[in-house]
C-alpha cells in the first residue's frame, strides 16, 4: 500500500532524507520548470552571469553547481566564449534537459552530481556560478566556503539566491506566512553570515545586493499548480504528503486575490573574488 509521507517514521538522518526528497522533487519538476519558472527566473540568472563576466575571470573552467535545465550554461557560453563550462545537478530530469540545451556547444558539459562535492571538480577553476540553489542546501555556509576554496587565486564566485524576506507582499510571501504557521521555523541565520563565510574561505566580497524583477502568474490557482508540480514547493509535496499540501493550498487560495498576480520578488546577488 502506498503510504502518505506524513505517516512515515522520522528518518534517521534528516539531512540525507531531506536531500533525497529534494533531488526526487527536482527530477519530477524538471520539464515543467523549463516552461514555467525558467523564463520567470531568467532576469536574475542574467544578472548573475553579467556580474561574473564583468569581473573578467582568468582562463580556466567555470562550474555551475545546480545548473538545473541549463539556461545558465547557454548564457555563460555566450558571455564567456573563451572558457570551458561544467554544469552539475543531482536531478536526472534537470541533467537531461540541460544536455539537450547544450548539445551544440562544444565547450560546455553537464554531469549529474551533487554541487557541493568540489573535490571532484576539474582545475583550475576560474569561476563558479550558482543560481537559486544555495537556499535549498542543508548547509549553505559550508557550500559557499567549498565553492570559494575550489577557485584558483583570482577566481570569481557569482551567486544568486532567494533570501527569507524576498518580498513583503505577493504570492511567495503568502506561501511563506502560511507555512510558517504550520512548520518549524527554517534556520535562516546563515543569511547573515554569507560575507563572513566567504571571507573566512579566502574571498573578497565585491558585491552584495538585492535585485527585484517583475513576475506574473495568470491566477493564484495557476501559481499554486506550477509551484507544487514543477517548482519550489515540489519538495514539500514529497516530504509532507497530499493532506498537508491540500490544507496549505486552501489557505493560499483564500488569502490570494482573484485574477492575474503581479509581484516583484527580490533575490540576493553576491559576487566575490578569491584572494
Ligand atoms: C530552483 S532550481 C535552479 C536551477 C537553475 N540554476 C536555474 O536557476 O534555473 C534548483 C536546482 O538545484 C538543484 N539542487 C538541489 N540540490 C542540489 C545539490 N546538493 N547540488 C547541486 N544542485 C542541487 C536541483 O536539482 C535544481 O535543479
Q: Give the atom of ligand 1 at the shortest distance from the alpha carbon of 160.
A: 8
Residue closest by Cα to atom 22 of ligand 1: 66
Is the pLDDT assigned to residue 9 strictly greater than 80?
no
Per-residue pLDDT, 93: 98
Which range of residues forms the domain containing residue 209?
5-165+186-214+267-274
Q: Is residue 64 part of a domain?
A: yes
Per-residue pLDDT, 185: 87
Query: pLDDT tens digits, residue range 208-259?
Result: 999 999 999 999 999 999 999 999 999 999 999 999 999 999 999 999 999 9
Q: Is residue 241 part of a domain?
A: no
Domain harbouring 208, CATH code:
3.40.50.150
Q: Is residue 257 part of a domain?
A: no
- Cα 69 to middle of ligand 1, angstroms: 9
Read off the pLDDT of each residue in 48-53 and give the average, rounded to a whole number: 98
Q: Is residue 255 part of a domain?
A: no
Q: Give the atom of ligand 1 at the shortest distance from the alpha carbon of 231.
A: 1
Is the pLDDT assigned to residue 1 strictly greater than 60?
no
**pTM of the complete model:** 0.94
Cα–Cα dist 264/251, whole Å: 22
- What proportion of the chain, given as a percentage, has pLDDT over 70? 95
In this prediction, residue 19 has a pLDDT band, given cuts at 50, 70 and 90, of confident
Per-residue pLDDT, 14: 62
Per-residue pLDDT, 5: 37
Read off the pLDDT of each residue in 111-131 and give the average, rounded to a whole number: 96
Query: pLDDT tens digits, residue range 63-81?
Result: 999 999 999 999 999 999 9
Query: pLDDT tens digits, residue range 130-169?
Result: 999 999 999 999 999 999 999 999 999 999 999 999 999 9
Per-residue pLDDT, 70: 98
The owner of cell 576554496 is 149
Q: Is residue 174 part of a domain?
A: no
**Mutational pocket test of ligand 1: of 74, 87, 90, the residue with most ligand atoms within 8 Å of the beta carbon:** 90
Q: Is residue 209 part of a domain?
A: yes
- Domains: count for the chain: 1
Q: Is residue 114 part of a domain?
A: yes
Residue closest by Cα to atom 20 of ligand 1: 115
Query: pLDDT tens digits, residue range 83-106?
Result: 999 999 999 999 999 999 999 999
Query: pLDDT tens digits, residue range 25-35?
Result: 999 999 999 99
Per-residue pLDDT, 12: 57
- Cα 257 to middle of ligand 1, angstroms: 30
**pLDDT averaged over the chain?**
94
Q: Is residue 133 part of a domain?
A: yes
3-state secondary structure the chain: CCCCHHHCCCCCCHHHHHHHHHHHHHHHHHHHHHHHHHHHHHHHHHHHHHHHHHCCCCCCEEEEECCCCCHHHHHHHHHCCCCEEEEEECCHHHHHHHHHHCCCCCCEEEEECCCCCHHHCCCCEEEEEEECCHHHCCCHHHHHHHHHHHEEEEEEEEEEECCCCCCCCCHHHHHHHHHHCCCCCCCCHHHHHHHHHHHHCCEEEEEEEEEECCEEECCHHHHHHHHHHHCCCHHHHHHHCHHHHHHHHHHHHHHCCCCCEEECCEEEEEEEEEC
Backbone angles phi, psi at 226, to 5 degrees: -65, -40
Is the pLDDT assigned to residue 274 strictly greater than 80?
yes
Cα–Cα dist 93/24, whole Å: 9
- CA angle (160 as vertex; 219, 151 as ends), nearest 5: 155
Amino acid at each position: 500500500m502506498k503510504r502518505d509521507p506524513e505517516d512515515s517514521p522520522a528518518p534517521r538522518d534528516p539531512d540525507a532524507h531531506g536531500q533525497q526528497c529534494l533531488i526526487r522533487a527536482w527530477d519530477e519538476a524538471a520539464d515543467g520548470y523549463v516552461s514555467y519558472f525558467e523564463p520567470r527566473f531568467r532576469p536574475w540568472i542574467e544578472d548573475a552571469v553579467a556580474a561574473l563576466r564583468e569581473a573578467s575571470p582568468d582562463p580556466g573552467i567555470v562550474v555551475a553547481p545546480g545548473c538545473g535545465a541549463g539556461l545558465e550554461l547557454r548564457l555563460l557560453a555566450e558571455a564567456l566564449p573563451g572558457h570551458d563550462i561544467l554544469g552539475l545537478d543531482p536531478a536526472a530530469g534537470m541533467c537531461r534537459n540541460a544536455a539537450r540545451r547544450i548539445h551544440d556547444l562544444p565547450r560546455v558539459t553537464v554531469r549529474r552530481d551533487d554541487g557541493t562535492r568540489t573535490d571532484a571538480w576539474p582545475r583550475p577553476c576560474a569561476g563558479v556560478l550558482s543560481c537559486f540553489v544555495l537556499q535549498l542546501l542543508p548547509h549553505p555556509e559550508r557550500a559557499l566556503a567549498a565553492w570559494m576554496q575550489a577557485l584558483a587565486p583570482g577566481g570569481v564566485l557569482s551567486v544568486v539566491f532567494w533570501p527569507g524576506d524576498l518580498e513583503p507582499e505577493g504570492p511567495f510571501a503568502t506561501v511563506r506566512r502560511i507555512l510558517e504557521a504550520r512548520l518549524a521555523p527554517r534556520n535562516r541565520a546563515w543569511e547573515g553570515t554569507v560575507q563572513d563565510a566567504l571571507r573566512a574561505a579566502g574571498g573578497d566580497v565585491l558585491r552584495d545586493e538585492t535585485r527585484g524583477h517583475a513576475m506574473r502568474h495568470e491566477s493564484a490557482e495557476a501559481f499554486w499548480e506550477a509551484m507544487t508540480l514543477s517548482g519550489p514547493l515540489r519538495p514539500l509535496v514529497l516530504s509532507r504528503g497530499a493532506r498537508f499540501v491540500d490544507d496549505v493550498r486552501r489557505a493560499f487560495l483564500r488569502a490570494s486575490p482573484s485574477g492575474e498576480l503581479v509581484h516583484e520578488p527580490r533575490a540576493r546577488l553576491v559576487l566575490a573574488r578569491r584572494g
